């Protein structure tokens, strides 16, 4: 099976006139897991949302290509159909729409008319994935994310990942707010996805998650761009020593982007 590549070049992203991402470059192949680490406010989540087409972010320069196709020209749903997926840090709640109905619509949206997934096959798959994620069956009939706890929302994002089986997934702080047991479960879900036809970009503050999902490459983001890259050992050093040594090494005083103090 042919490998796929997502290629981000010289990306610049603004939100409400202030530039958050500056000259960001990264290439991910299927079969690889990349992790982006970095302190708060360095543009990590903005990067994730902008690549998927978040309405608040404006891309002012640069390009994102998926196997040569220009992603930035695609509508959000076309990006998903091309094989991209974003597990969101703050997923929306949609009242009145059950988790199961939503996921079935999403699966069928990627299939040709007349080739919809059969109800039995869908239920079997959903049951299986929910078991892996140790989710109660009642979640399939609950309204999408409505009244879910933080941890339940994260599991539900990974459930969607497993149901939709994209080629590339961006996991935006999928570990935040999870206790150690939930973290293990969520990691198991992601690890189940690992194969030569799946590429993944994990965005996280903490090295903790990377104990369970071993990355092939680790990148450190500061001031809206990658300032250092390495293997899994880089994450371990960051865990042990923090970020200051990188700042010293590169002569960075303030790692944050512009005057944005929060992780946008």
Let me know: does 163 contact 107? Beta carbons within 8 Å.
yes
Q: Which of 77, 181, 241, 249 binds another protein (CB under 8 A)?
A: 77
Q: Which of 29, 63, 65, 102 binds another protein (CB under 8 A)?
A: 102
Q: Which of 9, 116, 117, 143 binds another protein (CB under 8 A)?
A: 143
114 binds another protein per the rule CB under 8 A: no
Q: Which is nearer to another protein, 54 or 219 (CB)?
A: 54
Q: Which of 1, 2, 17, 96 binds another protein (CB under 8 A)?
A: 96
Q: Which of 164, 193, 226, 252 binds another protein (CB under 8 A)?
A: 164
118 binds another protein per the rule CB under 8 A: no
Residue 99 and residue 101: Cα distance in Å, rounded? 6
* Cβ neighbour number for residue 65 with a 10 Å cutoff: 15
Q: What minimum distance in Å lies between the beta carbon of 179 and another protein?
A: 25
Considering only 89-97, 179-187, 196-204, 247-255, which stretch makes contact with another protein by CB under 8 A? Answer: 89-97
């Amino acid at each position: 099976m042919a490998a796929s590549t997502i290629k981000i070049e010289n990306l610049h992203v603004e939100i409400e006139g202030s530039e958050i991402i500056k000259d960001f470059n990264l290439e991910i192949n299927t079969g690889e897991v990349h992790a982006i680490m970095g302190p708060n406010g360095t543009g990590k989540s903005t990067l994730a949302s902008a690549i998927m087409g978040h309405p608040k972010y404006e891309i002012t320069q640069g390009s994102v290509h998926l196997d040569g196709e220009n992603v930035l020209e695609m509508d959000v749903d076309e990006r998903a159909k091309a094989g991209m997926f974003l597990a969101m840090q703050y997923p929306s709640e949609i009242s009145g729409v059950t988790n199961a109905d939503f996921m079935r619509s999403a699966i069928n949206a990627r299939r040709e008319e007349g080739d919809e997934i059969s109800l039995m096959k869908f239920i079997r798959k959903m049951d299986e994935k929910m078991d892996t994620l140790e989710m109660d069956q009642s979640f399939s009939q609950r309204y999408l994310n409505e009244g879910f706890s933080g941890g339940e929302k994260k599991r539900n994002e990974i459930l969607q990942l497993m149901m939709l089986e994209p080629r590339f997934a961006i996991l935006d702080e999928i570990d935040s707010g999870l206790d150690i047991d939930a973290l293990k479960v969520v990691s198991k879900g992601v690890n189940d996805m690992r194969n030569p036809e799946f590429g993944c970009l994990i965005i996280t503050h903490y090295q903790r998650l990377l104990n369970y999902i071993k990355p092939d490459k680790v990148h450190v983001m500061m001031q809206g761009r990658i300032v250092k890259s390495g293997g899994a050992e880089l994450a371990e050093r960051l865990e042990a020593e923090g970020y200051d040594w990188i700042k010293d090494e590169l002569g960075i005083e303030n790692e944050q982007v512009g005057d944005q103090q929060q992780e946008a």
